[in-house]
Amino acid sequence: MESDRIIKDSILKDFRDLKIMAIELTLSIIKPDAVSKGHMGEILARFEKNGLRIVAAKVSLLSRWQVEQIYGIHKGRPFYQDLLQFMTSGPVMLAVLEGEDAVAKNREIMGNTDPHLALPGTIRADFGTAANRNAVHGSDGPDRARYEIACLFEVGEIYSQIWLPERERHHQSAGS
């Protein structure tokens, strides 16, 4: 209807500066190879230089159970036992990254699973040495990111600029 079109145009005019943005959170793990070689700081800087905010971070020695929660989807594959052994072999850096399209952006700056195939300038090309020693892990989708973050962080450890957990909202409104 003509009246509908007029209303729609006027509304759109009011919203002409609005951008559709998808701010996401994702999980990064700086793996034992990169941590033991002292590349943790350089890798964290890559995230920040690429517009990803570090909203939670901690050094941790993962248990076998924790690694199984993250990589259990690969159970039965030839590299699985080595992966479990490697990921529990020394401390890792766990980080929650936040930003526009954070999941895809993190995967992009990580590079290919095999550092030899990763584009120059990516984290894996610069700090990884083989497919099974590839410096970093990144969640491969928003749902996986939520699951992986929930496995490894408490709500209170995450200082997101966009996400206020529901229980915090209740807490705040109860206090106000």
Nearest to 70 by CA among 47, 94, 46: 94
Q: Minimum distance between the CB of residue 160 and ligand ATP, rounded to whole angstroms? A: 22
Our answer to whether residue 116 is catalytic in this structure is: no
Size of the site for Mg ion (CB under 5 A): 1
Strand, coil or helix: 120: coil
Q: 140-169 mask for Mg ion (x: CB under 5 A)? A: x-----------------------------
Burial class (CB in 10 A: 0-12, 13-18, 19+), 66: middle
Q: What does 134 bind: Mg ion, ligand ATP, none (CB cut-off 5 to 8 Å by kind)? A: ligand ATP
Nearest to 102 by CA among 70, 147, 138, 132: 138
Nearest to 37 by CA among 112, 128, 130: 128
Alpha-carbon dihedral sign for residues 63, 68, 74, 76: positive
Distance in angstroms (rounded) separating the CA atoms of residues 89 and 109: 25
Give the nearer residue to ligand ATP in terms of CB position, either 4 or 131.
131
Q: Minimum distance between the CB of residue 70 and Mg ion, rounded to whole angstroms? A: 9
Interface residue list for ligand ATP (CB under 6 A): 74, 79, 83, 113, 131-132, 134, 137-138, 140
What amino acid is encoded at 132 in this protein? Answer: N
Q: How many CA atoms lie within 13 A of 157 on its CB side?
A: 14
Q: Minimum distance between the CB of residue 53 and ligand ATP, rounded to whole angstroms? A: 20
**Catalytic residue chosen out of the listed positions 74, 137, 170, 171:** 137
Q: What does 79 bind: Mg ion, ligand ATP, none (CB cut-off 5 to 8 Å by kind)? A: ligand ATP
Beta carbons of 54 and 44 less than 8 angstroms apart: yes
Q: What does 157 bind: ligand ATP, Mg ion, none (CB cut-off 5 to 8 Å by kind)? A: none
Q: What does 122 bind: ligand ATP, Mg ion, none (CB cut-off 5 to 8 Å by kind)? A: none
**Segment interacting with Mg ion, rule: CB under 5 A, options 86-94, 123-131, 132-140, 148-156:** 132-140
Catalytic residues: 137
Q: Using CB under 5 A, list all residues that contact Mg ion.
A: 140
